A and B are shown apart, each in its own frame.
Chain A
Amino acid sequence: MEGKKLILSLKNTGLFYKRKTGLLRHDKFWALRDVSFDLFHGETLGIIGKNGVGKSTVLRLIAGIMAPDLGEVIRHEPLRASLLALQVGVIPHLTGRQNAILGGLLLGLRRSEVEALLPQIIEFSELGDFVDQPVRSYSMGMKARLGFSVALYADPDILLVDEVLGVGDADFREKSANALREISRSNKTVVIVSHNNGVIRNLCDRVVWIENGHTQGAGPTDAVLEQYQQAHTTAVTSDSQAPGKAALVAGDMQSQA
């Protein structure tokens, strides 16, 4: 990543959640123990790892939603990072238009900025006249389209994407995947979390692999993915229920493609 500007670093970050274990008793569940990596301006970084290894927690650290309990998150410049969260604070009884404004405000825009973006948001969401209907009358796909469009046009410094490529109907999935591809090729900084290697391979310049709360590897996409797959193949072949597991992964791919 020579020549690219360093904008954010995680240095040995760890984070725990408290779990209630009995009357007046808590224990600490460490979601992350020792995660370090750098993020450069304009790159698309993938974060891989099995479910429940704290990938989403990493996104929350980058977005500044949570602070690490160990280590530090260093912002080398002021940044507005937002999660491409599909349905932030949706109020079902309000119209799509009202929810779009609310979503934009929650993502940190001014009212006037959201208003100016509304025509593009509505256009991209393909909701047409439905935009003035209450959101509770929407299908899942329509809600997802609205959420994706708002997050896309809110245009943060770092776009954080958390396993959201499987939403909406086939056409819109294609469109949103294209939009992400376009963003990742542009000069935008994007961080994508997924356990789907296809998505990562397609979009990312670099990959960080997290296992058991530790950074297991980081580097160019192909190299890290190969390591990751090797580690997993060994795990799968040593598993007597290998076919079942393989089917599960395939099902996953389908829903995410």
Chain B
Amino acid sequence: MRANLDLIWYKVYAELSAEAARTFLGILWWLIEPVLYMSVFYLIFGVLFQRGGEDFVYFLLIGLVVWKWFDSAIRSGMVSLQTNAAVIQQVYQPKYIFPVIVVLINTAKFLLVLLLLLLFLLISGKPVSITWLALLPLIGVQFVLIVGITSVCATVIPFVPDLKLVVDNGLTMLFFLSGVFFDISAVPEHFQVWLRLNPMAVLIDSYRSVLLLGQMPDWGHLFWVLLCSCVLMVAAVRVFNRNDRIYPKLV
């Protein structure tokens, strides 16, 4: 177990430094890329369509940063057994470490961008509220959610590779349903109930309450997200353990 942890941390460090070594600007790309990504959406929705009020930039940025962590981690983590096929066929390692490594890499990048976002809020004169402390449990819940979904997908995709396409398209759909561009609370009641079944909608809404409105998130909702994520994680660990020595034949 401790050797596994050593491997996980070193691999995260190694992949990140390899990524930085691959380009001229290296580590700067972890900032440039999200800034580019966010400017595209800001141009379209903030400038072109004139959506939202004066706080729309912050509103949109929070949604995008939080979503991007979820989206990139799942997209690359769900195929992590395939991307590590050569390793899996040459040495024995418990398979859960591969999606976890990908999620950690994406988490490191997210934290960097989040820091940038907080700085931006400070510079723009947004008041720092005590509710910012609620970011810690929020990040924790979202991390568990991402690990849960990524691991479950990673356990199934070697058996049913088609699931990758389903998840890819599902993520695109969820992107538009998670309230990245709109305020869930502004949607008619009877739709809201359904939209809030989506854990990312709950999370994005919570980040906004905490950072922009100085309100504590809805802990009850978050607790449900956490519970479901834990169930997913336990399920993934069980499938991984049962098929630990089958995966090398499949990837």
Contacting pair A66 B248 (CB below 8 A): yes
Contacting pair A65 B245 (CB below 8 A): yes
Contacting pair A18 B249 (CB below 8 A): yes
Give, as a whole number of angstroms, the nearest-CB distance from B246 to chain A.
7
Contact of A106 among B2, B93, B245 (CB under 8 A): B93
A94 at interface, CB cutoff 8 A: yes
Contact of B90 among A67, A83, A91 (CB under 8 A): A83
A92 CB contacts on chain B under 8 angstroms: 18
Among A65, A88, A93, A110, residue most surrounded by chain B Cβ atoms (within 10 Å): A65
0/1 string, A89-123, CB within 8 A of B gives 1 = 10111100010011001111111000000000000
Contacting pair B22 A93 (CB below 8 A): yes
**Count of residues in B whose CB is under 8 Å from the partner chain:** 27
- Docked complex Cα distance between A82 and B21 (Å): 30
Contacting pair A65 B90 (CB below 8 A): yes
Known: A65-B90, A83-B90. A105 touches B248 (CB 8 A): no
B198 at interface, CB cutoff 8 A: no
Contacting pair A89 B6 (CB below 8 A): no
Interfacial residues of chain A within 114-170, with CB under 8 A of chain B in the complex:
134
Contacting pair B86 A89 (CB below 8 A): yes
Contacting pair B89 A60 (CB below 8 A): yes
B14 at interface, CB cutoff 8 A: yes
Interface size of A as a range: 20 to 34
Contacting pair A110 B249 (CB below 8 A): no
Contacting pair A94 B93 (CB below 8 A): no
A177 at interface, CB cutoff 8 A: no
Contacting pair B246 A91 (CB below 8 A): no
- Docked complex Cα distance between A185 and B246 (Å): 35
Contact of B89 among A65, A101, A107 (CB under 8 A): A65
Contact of A111 among B6, B92, B246 (CB under 8 A): B6
- Docked complex Cα distance between A102 and B101 (Å): 13
A66 CB contacts on chain B under 8 angstroms: 245-246, 248-249
B21 CB contacts on chain A under 8 angstroms: 93-94, 134
Contacting pair A108 B3 (CB below 8 A): yes
B84 CB contacts on chain A under 8 angstroms: 89
Known: A18-B249, A106-B87, A110-B3. A64 touches B14 (CB 8 A): no
Contact of A91 among B7, B18, B88 (CB under 8 A): B18
Give, as a whole number of angstroms, the nearest-CB distance from B91 to chain A.
5
- Docked complex Cα distance between A187 and B36 (Å): 60
0/1 string, B1-41, CB within 8 A of A gives 1 = 01100110011001101110110000000000000000000
A91 CB contacts on chain B under 8 angstroms: 14-15, 18
Contacting pair B248 A94 (CB below 8 A): no
A6 at interface, CB cutoff 8 A: no
Contacting pair A98 B7 (CB below 8 A): no
Interfacial residues of chain A within 33-74, with CB under 8 A of chain B in the complex:
60, 63-67
- CB-CB nearest 8 A-B residue pairs: A67-B245, A85-B90, A93-B18, A111-B6, A105-B7, A93-B21, A89-B87, A91-B18
Chain A interface residues (CB < 8 Å from chain B): 15, 17-18, 60, 63-67, 82-83, 85, 88-89, 91-94, 98, 101-102, 105-111, 134
Q: List 16 A-B contacts (CB under 8 A).
A: A17-B249, A63-B92, A66-B245, A66-B246, A66-B248, A66-B249, A67-B246, A83-B91, A91-B15, A92-B18, A93-B21, A94-B14, A98-B17, A108-B91, A109-B3, A111-B6
**With A102-B14, A108-B3 given, can you name 20 additional A-B contacts, CB distance below 8 Å?**
A64-B92, A64-B245, A65-B91, A65-B248, A66-B249, A67-B245, A82-B91, A83-B90, A88-B86, A88-B87, A89-B86, A91-B18, A93-B21, A93-B22, A94-B17, A98-B17, A105-B11, A106-B7, A106-B93, A107-B91
